[in-house]
């Protein structure tokens, strides 16, 4: 089967190569065609290039340490990040991550998940294009013990009894397991035990003693500069050369055929190096501006998406329910890659974010705010919900009660009529209200509301029948 798959890929690449040869001459002097096509191609490939650059950074170690681990090893986060944590923006204080990068292009990997004992968790699997192709977990498969073989494109073979196949469309796979934890010492211990029982082994080693090999550190990999900055800094030639190389083992979908034909006009073909010299002098000079134009277009979609319906704005809260599965909505996929790499399907999580009570005003610790929920109208989520506090750079805020997020696990105190008020301010609202207090810094801050496994029947944030309350400043 692999041979047939490779032959089919070879035929497809040959056809695109011929198309590129025929069409490059058409675009080589036509700036008005080359640049727009280049911007489209850049946006299309942004997730795949970003995933690869992220993989390089996160796996460039000899053994698991912190948020990094070699290919085929798990990162098992043992506690919530502290207010001093600066490795990743917008961390959470609700789930402990258990993550790994694997290459299933050569061989499948077997993932073993233990009995979670009814604990909420999810184990989304992202392909190289950031599509969430499978999501084992409480919502989809229950919490009993499970075993999966994650296989690559074109693989066909026999699996051990009791092991279910989950086919990845690409060779690159990112496992992004999240396990709910209350953060108490007792619950930390229970989740640690579950994390230790999760295993990942190549198919050839399944059922045998196995120790994943140590990783090799590549000194050429920049592990200090943010991945997004590294991607955005790539020259147009370096970007498209990497993209074409990655598309060989991480094939586009059938729905991408029109895009591949456009890319072939520029000489961008899966498996072949991009040769920008085929563009004429005028077109080539203009073509060098493609990365800058494309990145600006991607980030502009955060606002323009509100008009197109890809993004929503409610009472100062911006969010989307179009994540995880994108089809041919390449611009939305690129935006989510840029601002929220690893996003779940909306059925698993929605992340409304607010930088101020309205689009013209930012939150500030100089004021006091209240978020009011009517009786029975707390965020409708079957997994859990939480409201997290961040500073202006999307990092946790140091505070006297060490509370980074607030949720139902704080035993929120209701008002006499059953409604619930959350007090968002720098100073304590008083001992009688402290259970409902989310501490804020003295200066600018940002709020993120998380709904894991949001309710799909009314009221629901997914269909818009549940609206997020506004955060109001009070005297």
| Count of Cβ atoms closer than 10 Å to residue 285 Cβ | 11
pLDDT at 9 over 60: no
pTM exceeds 0.85 for this model = yes
Helix, strand, coil fractions of the chain, as percent rounded to 5: 30, 25, 45
Is the residue at 215 inside a domain? no
Is the residue at 170 inside a domain? yes
Is the residue at 201 inside a domain? yes
Residue 87: pLDDT band (50, 70, 90) is confident
Q: From CA 243, how far away is CA 250, in angstroms rounded?
A: 10
What is the sign of the dihedral through the CA atoms of 231, 233, 238 and 244? positive
Residue 88: pLDDT band (50, 70, 90) is confident
pLDDT at 474 over 60: yes
Residue 10: pLDDT band (50, 70, 90) is very low
pLDDT average, residue stretch 363-390: 97
Is the residue at 218 inside a domain? no
Is the residue at 401 inside a domain? yes
pLDDT of residue 257: 97
Q: Which domain holds residue 161?
A: 64-205
Percentage of the residues of the chain whose pLDDT score is greater than 70? 93
The total of structural domains in the chain comes to 3
Residue 290: pLDDT band (50, 70, 90) is very high
Is the residue at 220 inside a domain? no
Looking at the fold, whether 43 and 100 belong to one and the same domain comes out as no
Residue 29: pLDDT band (50, 70, 90) is low
pLDDT of residue 280: 79
Is the residue at 217 inside a domain? no
The helices-and-strands tally (H runs, E runs) of the chain is 9, 22
Q: 236-249 vs 290-308: helix axis angle to the nearest 10? A: 70
Residue 447: pLDDT band (50, 70, 90) is very high
Smallest CA-to-CA distance from 447 within 466, 423, 429 is with: 423
pLDDT at 19 over 50: no
Looking at the fold, whether 362 and 464 belong to one and the same domain comes out as yes
pLDDT of residue 458: 96
pLDDT of residue 25: 45
pLDDT of residue 33: 87
Give the residue from 260, 291, 322 where a domain finishes. Answer: 291
Phi and psi torsions of 420, nearest 5° = -130, 130
Residue with structure tokens 């460039």?
A: 60
pLDDT of residue 282: 81
Q: From CA 381, how far away is CA 139, in angstroms rounded?
A: 11
CATH number at residue 457: 2.60.120.600
Looking at the fold, whether 316 and 414 belong to one and the same domain comes out as yes
pLDDT digits (tens, 9 = 90+) for 156-194: 999 999 999 999 999 999 999 999 999 999 999 999 999
Looking at the fold, whether 131 and 201 belong to one and the same domain comes out as yes
Is the residue at 144 inside a domain? yes
Looking at the fold, whether 379 and 457 belong to one and the same domain comes out as yes
Looking at the fold, whether 280 and 313 belong to one and the same domain comes out as no
Looking at the fold, whether 233 and 199 belong to one and the same domain comes out as no
Give the residue from 291, 317, 339 where a domain finishes. Answer: 291
Looking at the fold, whether 121 and 90 belong to one and the same domain comes out as yes
CA dihedral 179→180→185→190, nearest 10 degrees, is -50
Give the residue from 205, 234, 267 where a domain finishes. Answer: 205
Residue 283: pLDDT band (50, 70, 90) is confident
With beta carbons less than 8 A apart as the criterion, state whether 148 and 160 touch: no
Give the mean pLDDT of the chain. 92
pLDDT at 235 over 60: yes
Looking at the fold, whether 19 and 86 belong to one and the same domain comes out as no
pLDDT of residue 411: 92
Looking at the fold, whether 254 and 359 belong to one and the same domain comes out as no
Residue 279: pLDDT band (50, 70, 90) is confident
Looking at the fold, whether 178 and 110 belong to one and the same domain comes out as yes
pLDDT average, residue stretch 433-439: 98
The DSSP-derived string for 104-124 is -SSS-EEEEE---TT--EE--
pLDDT digits (tens, 9 = 90+) for 135-160: 999 999 999 999 999 999 989 999 99
Looking at the fold, whether 196 and 158 belong to one and the same domain comes out as yes
């Amino acid at each position: 089967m692999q041979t047939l798959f490779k032959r089919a890929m070879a035929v497809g690449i040959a056809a695109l190569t011929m198309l590129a040869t025929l069409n490059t001459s058409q675009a080589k002097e036509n700036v008005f065609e080359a640049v727009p096509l280049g911007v489209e191609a850049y946006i299309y490939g942004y997730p795949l290039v970003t995933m690869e650059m992220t993989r390089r950074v996160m796996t460039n170690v000899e053994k698991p340490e912190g948020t990094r681990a070699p290919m085929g090893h798990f990162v098992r986060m043992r506690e919530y990040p502290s207010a001093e944590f600066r490795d990743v923006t917008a961390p959470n204080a609700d789930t402990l991550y258990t993550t790994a990068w694997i290459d299933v292009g050569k061989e499948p990997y077997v993932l073993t998940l233990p009995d979670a004992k009814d604990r909420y968790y999810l184990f989304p699997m992202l392909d190289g294009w950031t599509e969430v192709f499978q999501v084992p977990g409480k919502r989809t498969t229950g919490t009993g013990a499970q075993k999966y073989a994650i296989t690559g494109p074109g693989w066909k073979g026999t699996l051990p009894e009791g092991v279910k196949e989950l086919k990845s469309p690409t060779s690159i796979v990112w496992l992004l397991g999240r396990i709910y934890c209350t953060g108490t010492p007792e619950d930390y211990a229970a989740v640690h035990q579950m994390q230790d029982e999760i295993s990942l082994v190549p198919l050839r080693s399944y059922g045998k003693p196995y120790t994943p090999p140590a990783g090799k550190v590549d000194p050429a990999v920049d592990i200090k500069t943010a991945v997004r900055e590294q991607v955005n800094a790539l020259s147009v030639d370096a970007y498209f050369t990497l993209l074409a190389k990655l598309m060989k083992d991480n094939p586009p979908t059938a729905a991408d055929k029109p895009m591949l034909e456009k890319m072939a006009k520029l000489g961008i073909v899966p498996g072949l190096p991009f040769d920008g010299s085929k563009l004429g002098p005028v077109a080539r000079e203009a073509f060098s501006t493609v990365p800058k134009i494309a990145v600006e277009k991607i980030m502009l979609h955060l606002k323009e998406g509100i008009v197109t319906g890809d993004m929503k704005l409610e009472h100062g809260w911006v969010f989307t329910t179009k994540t995880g599965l994108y089809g041919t909505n390449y611009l939305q996929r690129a935006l989510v890659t840029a601002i929220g790499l690893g996003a779940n399907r909306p059925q698993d999580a929605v992340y409304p974010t607010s930088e101020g009570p309205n689009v013209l005003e930012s939150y500030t610790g100089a004021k006091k705010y209240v978020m009011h929920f009517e009786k029975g109208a707390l965020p409708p989520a079957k997994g859990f919900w939480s409201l997290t506090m961040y500073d202006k750079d999307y990092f946790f805020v140091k505070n006297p009660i060490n509370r980074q997020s607030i949720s139902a696990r704080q035993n929120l105190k209701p008002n006499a009529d059953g409604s619930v008020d959350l007090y968002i301010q720098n100073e304590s609202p008083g001992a009688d209200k402290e259970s409902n207090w989310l501490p804020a810094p003295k200066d600018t801050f940002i709020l993120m509301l998380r709904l894991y496994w949001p309710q799909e029947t009314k009221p629901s944030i997914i269909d818009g029948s549940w609206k997020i309350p506004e955060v109001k400043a009070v005297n």
